[in-house]
A and B are shown apart, each in its own frame.
Chain A
Amino acid sequence: MTPRPGIGRRSTPVLFIAPFLILFLATLVAPVGYAVWMSLFREQATSGLGFGGTRTLFVGVDNYLRAFDDPGFRRGFLHVALYCVIYIPVMVGGALLLALLVDSAMARAKKFFQLAFFLPHAVPGLIAAIIWGFLYTPGLSPVIDLLSSIGVDWDFLGPDAVIFSLVNAAAWQWIGYNMVIFYAALQAVPRETLEAATVDGAGELRTGWSVKLPMIRSSVVLTMLFTAVGAIQLFNEPEVLRSRASSISQDWSPVMFIYQAAFTEHDYGLAAAASLMLALLGAALSFVITRLGNRWKEA
């Protein structure tokens, strides 16, 4: 049973991994490196009038400082922070509650409910934003008609309401997806443990809170991680609603700021610096949340 000698065995893993690795380097590692490089330079017109093309100047951390100083960029982070404060509890809490409800012995038609909750996720995010954009438009929206028939005048796209409208569009998309994850985790909870809790006199509510929840903590933490990292990249929904809501500026979220810096102002250095700051924030978030998760696991 000696393995065949020679280069065949040794080079195989290299050959198998090579297609992925080459593409990984070209479309992931190289662009990140290029972004770092770009963030250190600034294009400058060679003459004051803008004739004669541009010249590239090394500016060090200046682009980072400019991004940091830009009130638009800072406001973007504020918007996203506010968005996360509303979105994460609503979405994760909602998905957990739904998963516990479907998992409880009381629920009927479990297959139907799961499909109904998951269906929005089969809608592309962009299309979901377009549909909700219609549902926020007076004259088109049955929701607005319904609200006004009970005397509520709600402007979904107004400056105060718009963040809730964005949260709603995203929660609609993701609540069922995360419910499926939580439900699958709940199904893996040993039935004997649940029976033991029932024998000890715990009701459904108590079992859900004190037995089931702690046992699926790691998938909840992981979901929060992916949700937060996704939220700081918020772009589709506000970009779609922008054509209807004057309350959403062109640089409403950090990614919108980056898009504007790069493709409207052609300030690539600033856009690259801002992108990397955003990526660092994402990495920091991941680190903090996994750390917290590990601590909870040990406790």
Chain B
Amino acid sequence: MTAPSTSPATAKSTWASRTVVNTLLALVALYTLMPLSWLLVNATKNNGDLFGRPGFRLAEFNLFSNLADLFAYQDGIFGRWLANSMLYSVAGALASTLISLLAGYAFDKYAFRGKEKLYGLVLLGILVPHTVISLPMYLMASQTGLVNTYWAVLVPGLVNPFGVYLARVFAESYVPGETLEAARIDGAGELRTFRSVALPMLSPAFMTIFLFSFTGSWNNFFLPLVMLNDSALYPVGLGLFNWNATLAQEPQFYAFVITGSLLSIVPLAAAFVALQRYWRSGLTAGAVK
């Protein structure tokens, strides 16, 4: 290790490059934060002020009346969409996480015939574009009468090949085989061993996969678009999409779409902030391996 040199020339050039680096970073932060702050400012304006006032200038504060109007419109259809999104995302992600953990754990801890071939198929599943399967899935669902039901959106969300991959990676490093052996010697059955010994050790994996499934479902747009006609079953994104598409004919929706967009970001942003360390470990487990 050499001591840092302290000649005036180097100090000056360090100072200059430090300024350049931090100015660049600040400019990019301005760019990433601008649309969100625009949304925040404009959710407080009524329809007249949206066009009457420049984008970042505050006008009369109407956030609460916007919210009241939004939730009152069509007997509270917007609240229903939020509840639907919650159902699709929370219930779907919980079930999907458990299913992925069981499978990933089994892939890691047991030996059986054809294991690696089957696992290879699961990994291939990560790469299948969703749009390719949405159309045949729609036709299969329409033959079984599942189109326009909650199941049509919930069931496909349960399958998460990437979750199985993550679960296997986590099981490998978080659940020592000796601990399982000890549990078995103590007479615990396999399911009991999984539930009482492995599952608690896998709780970081649980949170990570849950977060990925939750965001996946909350963001899912194409599948509900294909599967649902009945607006009472819409997730919030699809509802806002439809309002947004009619803005040219129905300009009174502007405040609705802006305030509604802001609201539909909140659950996801809250999940990300609350579970920061989990998405980070998920990203790196997914990317570096």
Contact = CB atoms under 8 A, between A and B. Distances in A.
Interface of A: 1, 3-4, 8-10, 12-17, 19-21, 23-24, 26-28, 30-32, 34-35, 38, 98, 101-102, 104, 106-109, 112-113, 116-128, 130-135, 139-143, 145, 172, 175-177, 180-181, 184-185, 188, 195, 198-199, 204, 218-219, 222-223, 229, 232-233, 235-236, 239-240, 243-244, 255, 258-259, 262-263, 268, 271-272, 275-276, 278-279, 282-283, 286
22 contacts: A20-B100, A31-B137, A32-B133, A98-B25, A107-B21, A108-B18, A117-B32, A118-B272, A122-B271, A127-B261, A130-B261, A134-B258, A140-B50, A172-B35, A184-B288, A236-B221, A239-B241, A240-B241, A243-B248, A268-B139, A276-B132, A282-B127
A129 B31 CA distance: 15
A33 B141 CA distance: 15
B32 A127 contact: no
Main secondary structure of the interface of B (DSSP, over half): helix
Given A124-B219, A263-B226, A286-B127, A131 B112 contact: no
A198 B127 CA distance: 41
Contact of B257 (A117, A130, A184): A130
Contacts of A121: 272
Contacts, number: 256
A128 B219 CA distance: 11
B82 interface: no
A8 to B, nearest CB: 6
Interface residues of B, number: 92
B18 A98 contact: no
Nearest to A19: B99
Contact of B283 (A106, A122, A180, A259): A180
The 6 closest A-B CB pairs, nearest first, are A142-B55, A16-B106, A13-B110, A20-B103, A31-B133, A116-B29
A237 to B, nearest CB: 11
